[in-house]
Amino acid sequence: MLNIALFGPPGAGKGTQSALLMKKYNLSYIATGDILREELAKKSPLGLEAQKIISEGGLVSDEIIVQIIEERIKSDHSSEGFLFDGFPRTYVQAYILDGLLSKLNTSLTSLISLEVDKEEAMTRLLERAKISGRSDDNETVILNRLKEYEQKTLPVLNFYNELGITAPINGQGELEEVFGRIEEKIELALSKSRMNIVLFGYPGAGRATQAKKLAKEFGLVYLATGEMLTDELKTKSDLSKEIEPHIKEGTLVPDEIIVRLIEKKIKANPHSKGFIFKGFPRTLVQAYILDGLLRKQGTSVSAVIDIEVATLELVKRLDERGKTDQKQPYDVSTQTIVKRLEMHEKKTLPVLDYYQKSVKVYRVNGEGSVDDVWERVLPPARETYRTVR
C-alpha cells in the first residue's frame, strides 16, 4: 500500500499535485480541508463545530480530524493507498496517523514536503481568493495560517526525519516540473518497499512448490537455501566439502556458509521487487541474521506464511519423495526423516514465535492438492503485497 502525506505551507500547490498523484497511483484522497468544507455545506454538527475555527484560520481539533479521517479510510476499499493533504499538521497528529495506518497493517511510505517561500505562498493564496471567493483567503487569515504552519506543523518534519521517509521538493516552477520531482521521490521510496516473505513449514509441507508459484505471481526472487546448497555441492568446491557431511546427516549447515550464499544472492538482485525465503531462517540466530541482511538493503521481512501439515502426512510424503529423483539425503529412511522433523520442531518453531512479535504471521492448511494449497496461500500474499506497496 502506497501512503503519501503531501506537506507544505498554505499555497504550496498541494491540491493541484494531489490530483495528479491520485490518477497516477490510484490513491484515495484525504484532504481535511475539503472534507471539513463538505461538512460545513451540509451544516452537520461536525461542520458547525469546525466553522468558527476554519474562518479564523486556526487548526481544527484532533478529535474532529480523527473522526473524519478514520471514517473516510474505512469507507474506501478500492484504492491502492491513501494520499493525505493537510494531515498531519502537528507532532501529535503524526502519532495519530501512525496509529490509524497501523490498524490497516501498513504505514506512511513517504512525506513529500513542497517547499515554497513565504512571498510566493502569499501571492498564490491572494490570487486564489480572487478566483474562488473563499472567505478564509484574505491577507489577515493567510498570515495567521502561515504563522500556524511555522509554529505547529514544521516540527512534524522532525518526526518523519527520524523515520527517514521525508522527501523535500522544490515546489516552485511549472506544474509538470514539480510533479516530475515528486514522481522521482515516490519511485525511489517504492523501490525500497520490497515484498519479503518467509515461507515456513516442516520438510514435506510443499514449501518449494508454493514458494516458486509466489515468486512468479509477484515477481519475487526465489531464495531456497536447500537448493543453493545442492547447487554448491555439484561444483565439488572446497565449500561443497564442508557442506556435504551436514546434508548426509540431516544436520543444519553452519550459519557462516549459509550467510555467504544468501548475501551473494541478494547482491545479485539489487533491483528486485523482493524475495521469497524458503528454508531460511531455520533458527532464532538465523532470524537475526536475516533481519541484518535485509536492513542493509533498506528493507525487512514483510510477512511469514506457515504451511501446516499433519506429522503422519509429512512422513508419508517424505518417504514417497525418497523414491524419486527429488529425494533429499534425509529421505532415505524413516529414522532420518523423523530426526529431521524433530530438529525442525526444536530449532525452527521458536522462529515463528519471534516473528509473531514483529510481523504478520499467516497459518495455512497445507493438506490437499497443490492447487488447493495455492488457493489458501495466495490471499495472505496478496494482502502483504497491498501492505508493502
Helices 155-163 and 91-102: angle between axes, nearest 10 degrees: 40
Phi-psi region of 249 (alpha: psi -120 to 50; beta: other; left: phi over 0): alpha
pLDDT at 102 over 80: no
Q: Domain limits of the chain?
A: 2-191, 197-388
Reduced to 3 states, what is the DSSP secondary structure of residue 304? Answer: strand
Q: Strands 2-7 and 110-115: what pairing?
A: parallel
Residue 115 φ then ψ, to 5°: -100, 120
Q: Report the candidate in 210, 204, 203 with the shortest Cα–Cα distance to residue 373.
A: 210
pLDDT tens readout for residues 129-159: 777 666 666 788 888 888 888 787 778 888 8
Residues 6+ apart with CB under 8 A from 42: none
Helix (H) or strand (E) holding 286: helix 284-295
Q: Give the integer Cα–Cα distance in Å for 173 and 170.
A: 8
pLDDT band at 169 (very low <50, low <70, confident <90, very high): very high
pLDDT band at 105 (very low <50, low <70, confident <90, very high): low
pLDDT tens readout for residues 323-341: 887 777 666 788 888 888 8
| Residue-level length of the chain | 389
Q: Give the integer Cα–Cα distance in Å for 363 and 342.
A: 20
3-state secondary structure 112-167: EEEECCHHHHHHHHHHHHHHHCCCCCCHHHHHHHHHHHHHHHCHHHHHHHHHCCEE
Residues 6+ apart with CB under 8 A from 62: 90, 92, 93, 96
Q: Give the integer Cα–Cα distance in Å for 364 and 44.
A: 46
User: ∠ CA 11-16-19 to the nearest 5 degrees?
Assistant: 145
Q: Strands 81-85 and 110-115: what pairing?
A: unpaired
Residue 108 φ then ψ, to 5°: -75, 125
108's grid cell = 506512511
For the chain, how many helices (H) and strands (E)? 18, 10
Q: Give the integer Cα–Cα distance in Å for 352 and 25.
A: 34
CATH for the stretch 2-191 = 3.40.50.300
Q: Which CATH superfamily is domain 197-388 in?
A: P-loop containing nucleotide triphosphate hydrolases (3.40.50.300)
pLDDT tens readout for residues 183-231: 998 887 776 678 999 999 988 899 999 999 999 998 899 999 888 888 8
Judge whether 2-191 and 197-388 match in fold: yes
Please give the mean pLDDT across all residues of the chain: 85
384's grid cell = 502483504
Mean pLDDT along residues 347-368: 91
Evaluated on CA atoms 38, 49, 7, 194, the torsion sign reads: negative
pLDDT band at 81 (very low <50, low <70, confident <90, very high): confident
CB atoms within 10 A of CB 54: 19
